[in-house]
Structure 1
Amino acid sequence: MPDPTQPRKDTRGNILFFFGVLILLLLAYHLAKELEILYVSALFAVVLMPVLHRITSWSIRGYHPSRAIAIVLLLLAAALGLILFFTIGLPPVLNDLRGFMTDLPGRIPGAVDRLKHIPLADKLGVETIASRAENTAAALGSYIFTSLPDWLTHVFDILTTIFLCIYFMLEGEHAYEFFLSLFRPPARQRLDATLRKAELKMSKWLLGQGLLMLTLGVCSLTAFGILHVRYFVLLGVLMGLFNIIPVAGGVITIAMAAGVAAIDSWQKMFGVLIFYLIYVNLENAILTPRIMRSSVNLMGLTVLVALLLGTALGGIVGALVAVPTAALISVLLEEYAVQRPSQS
């Protein structure tokens, strides 16, 4: 005999579920920054886990390093890289940046004179744009140094992300098993297989992106140095760093490099643009298919939409994690939402 109170219990359960979801969404809204830090730290932990497993698989006279020892080795390697960067790589960049900020206001009039020889340049208001750019450039250097204390407030967030990343690498599997235990066994096995596939896809994308960043940075540094472009060290470093943001990062930095080269001569500017066109074609034809496409296999439209939404939601950090997040969502949609012919 059916229980007459069952419909009432179901209604009460649906109401409680609705308010529970509402409370969770409200908490997520107020804790957006903290959730962003958690997500970024978990993402980098996922990326570093293959490296961690490789270190723990080392055999030194029968001894295999523990996970804690592997994390210590990773931290030491990162610290060594930072020391080398701050002692060898950063001083030339700072010198170039200081010289760039000092010379830019005085070089803008010369660039304007060259632009006046371009047809229709007088209709674009070149002189007005140049005066505004000159005032902005003059104030930019002082703004960077005066706003330094404000930037230091983000140091705590960076340190928090690093410590959370370490804890995720140490205890992330226990948290992952607890999360899976919330689902029934059939759904649990399916979700586990899906998330592990997404983990492989995300880690391959970020590692591949790091390789592409290094390749573009080294090639740009070499090419700009051969062309005798001013501040080539600074521009080469920026080319590599901004390549973490696919498509948009390269366009922004090559426009900056071309502008700096145009201050000296149009020949240097065309040389910079020709270098970038050659590199982009080589990257799309050789590097990207071998490093990225075979593992991630995301459409270009998907990447652009992910970058647009990620930048709007989280700024630079959102753009940083936009594409791996899109890779995660694509795997989840492929498993749970895509209707295959055999399932229809």
Structure 2
Amino acid sequence: MIKSIKLLRNSTTFKLAVAAGVSFILYELATFLFPILLAIGLAFALYPVSNMFSKITVGQGTIHLSRVVAIILAFMAFGMFMFFAVTFILLPLFGQINDLVAKLPDYTTKVESTNMDWLLKDPSQYPRLPYNFETLIDDAMTWVMGFMGGILRNLFKSTMDIIANLVGLIVVPFLAFYFLKDWRELRLMMINLFTYDTQPKVAHILDEIGRTLSAYIQGLGKLSLIAGACITVGVAILGIQFPLVFGFLAVMAETVPVVGPLMGAVPAVFIAYSQNTSSAFSVALFYLVFYQIDGNILMPRIMGSKIDLHPVVLILSLLIGAKLYGILGMLFAVPVAAVYRVLYKELWHSSDEPRPTETEQ
């Protein structure tokens, strides 16, 4: 009987059923879990800040503060950062988004007319153009305008939804405070839910998930701030309107691997082309150089290799997240996929039989 139970537990069908059941429960509880996930993310982000405040160097000596005082100071620093962000970034950003959405049809018309004037100035130079080329240009411009408008509307709607649910989000800082203060006790409480012989495995899985999420959230925060600041300043220097919008798109693009840079660059190049056709190349080159530096230098140094997911897995995770929960789903898609990867690595092949080596496979 015991052997049959072990065989069932280690079977692929059973593991797939458990994975599907857990995914279904998470889907049904998504609204309830959202503040908890935000609190966990905030706790991971503030953890190094609270550690920094726990030891303050003054002259030749070091002042050691209690854990609670250090956490309170970390929240005060976060509050000051949010006040600055809302006052000097978020409110002006909303104004720029409204202006851009209102001017999109004019920009599209200008780009369309510019292209047609350039191409049809001497039609004999383009004998191979299809007869319906003008219609194709119209369709392309309509798609670009719809793509940009959809991104901006979804970003604005997601932000407004978060603000509208502010009452529910009030619990986030309180949860984050207790996660920071009592994380050791909470970890031990979760481990003790399992049988004695499985507790070491559970402890290892929790530690691995913690390291993975910590590296991702803290690294993503740094990369997003760098991208937002660089893109905002760079676009402003190049003389393109709405720099805060493109800086915000750059911040969001950092949360969307693989396709994020394209989503951030296309609107900027389009607007640059509509304002001044000669500046579109400069903007495209600026984005190309920045994202080469971001992907090949900044990301490996800051993020490391903790999120070791194949690009196909990343794209599928993003598509599923976007389909289920829109922008917020894309935001949480990568960390959720990273947690599933840890669980897969630690549990999928878990059995009483030794795993075959590469030569045996």
Normalising by structure 1, report the TM-score.
0.77
State the Cα deviation string for residues 15-62 of structure 1 (Å, max 9, x = none): xxxxxx999999766533102332342343244334333433446766
Alpha-carbon deviation of 1:335?
2.4
Quickly say closer, same or farther: Cα 1:265–1:340, change in 2 above 3 A.
farther
Normalising by structure 2, report the TM-score.
0.74
What amino acid does structure 1 have at the position aligned with 2:138? V
What amino acid does structure 2 have at the position aligned with 1:111? V
State the alpha-carbon separation in 2 of the partners of residues 128 and 330 from structure 1: 39
- Residue ranges of structure 2 left out of the alignment (5+ in a row): 6-17, 120-128, 350-354
Which of 168, 175, 178 matches 1:167? 178
Aligned to 2:135: 123
Aligned to 2:64: 64
Alpha-carbon deviation of 1:180?
0.6
Aligned to 1:155: 166
- 2:190 paired with 1:179: yes
Q: SS of the residue aligned with 1:293?
A: coil
Quickly say closer, same or farther: Cα 1:98–1:274, change in 2 above 3 A.
same
- Shifted more, 180-189 versus 120-129: the winner is 120-129
What amino acid does structure 2 have at the position aligned with 1:51? V
Alpha-carbon deviation of 1:274?
1.4
Quickly say closer, same or farther: Cα 1:104–1:297, change in 2 above 3 A.
closer
State the alpha-carbon separation in 2 of the partners of residues 29 and 98 from structure 1: 33
State the alpha-carbon separation in 1 of the partners of residues 183 and 239 from structure 2: 49
Alpha-carbon deviation of 1:80?
1.0
What amino acid does structure 2 have at the position aligned with 1:201? T
- 2:330 paired with 1:319: yes
State the alpha-carbon separation in 2 of the partners of residues 198 and 31 from structure 1: 20
Verify the 8 A CA contact 2:108 2:141 in the aligned structure 1: no
- Shifted more, 328-337 versus 177-186: the winner is 328-337
Verify the 8 A CA contact 1:208 1:291 in the aligned structure 2: yes
Verify the 8 A CA contact 2:261 2:291 in the aligned structure 1: no
Aligned to 1:237: 248
Aligned to 1:79: 79
State the Cα deviation string for residues 160-186 of structure 1 (Å, max 9, x = none): 333322232233432321211122233
- Shifted more, 299-308 versus 125-134: the winner is 125-134
Verify the 8 A CA contact 2:55 2:63 in the aligned structure 1: no
Verify the 8 A CA contact 1:40 1:321 in the aligned structure 2: no
State the alpha-carbon separation in 2 of the partners of residues 127 and 309 from structure 1: 28
What amino acid does structure 1 have at the position aligned with 2:29? L
Verify the 8 A CA contact 1:45 1:169 in the aligned structure 2: yes
Alpha-carbon deviation of 1:249?
3.2
Alpha-carbon deviation of 1:215?
1.9
- Shifted more, 261-270 versus 119-128: the winner is 119-128
Quickly say closer, same or farther: Cα 1:277–1:30, change in 2 above 3 A.
closer
State the alpha-carbon separation in 1 of the partners of residues 100 and 201 from structure 2: 55
Verify the 8 A CA contact 1:221 1:236 in the aligned structure 2: yes
Aligned to 1:262: 273
What amino acid does structure 1 have at the position aligned with 2:232? L
Verify the 8 A CA contact 1:47 1:202 in the aligned structure 2: no
- 2:342 paired with 1:331: yes
What amino acid does structure 2 have at the position aligned with 1:183? F
Quickly say closer, same or farther: Cα 1:47–1:336, change in 2 above 3 A.
farther
State the alpha-carbon separation in 1 of the partners of residues 143 and 23 from structure 2: 48
Aligned to 2:263: 252
Aligned to 1:16: none
Quickly say closer, same or farther: Cα 1:172–1:340, change in 2 above 3 A.
farther
Which of 207, 216, 222 matches 1:205? 216
Report how many aligned residue pairs link the two structures.
Answer: 322
- Shifted more, 22-31 versus 147-156: the winner is 22-31
State the alpha-carbon separation in 2 of the partners of residues 30 and 88 from structure 1: 37
State the alpha-carbon separation in 2 of the partners of residues 219 and 74 from structure 1: 26
Alpha-carbon deviation of 1:82?
2.0
Alpha-carbon deviation of 1:222?
2.6
What amino acid does structure 2 have at the position aligned with 1:73? L
- 2:112 paired with 1:96: no
What RMSD in Å do the two structures reach over aligned CA positions? 3.8
Alpha-carbon deviation of 1:341?
1.8
Alpha-carbon deviation of 1:299?
2.5
Percent identical across equivalent pairs? 24
Q: SS of the residue aligned with 2:256?
A: coil
Verify the 8 A CA contact 1:56 1:70 in the aligned structure 2: yes
- 2:243 paired with 1:227: no
Verify the 8 A CA contact 2:107 2:271 in the aligned structure 1: no
In the TM superposition, 1:3-22 aligns within 5 A as: none
Aligned to 1:41: 39
In the TM superposition, 1:277-316 aligns within 5 A as: 277-316=288-327
Aligned to 1:51: 49
Alpha-carbon deviation of 1:192?
0.6
Verify the 8 A CA contact 2:108 2:274 in the aligned structure 1: yes
State the alpha-carbon separation in 1 of the partners of residues 287 and 143 from structure 2: 29
Quickly say closer, same or farther: Cα 1:173–1:258, change in 2 above 3 A.
same
Quickly say closer, same or farther: Cα 1:222–1:57, change in 2 above 3 A.
same
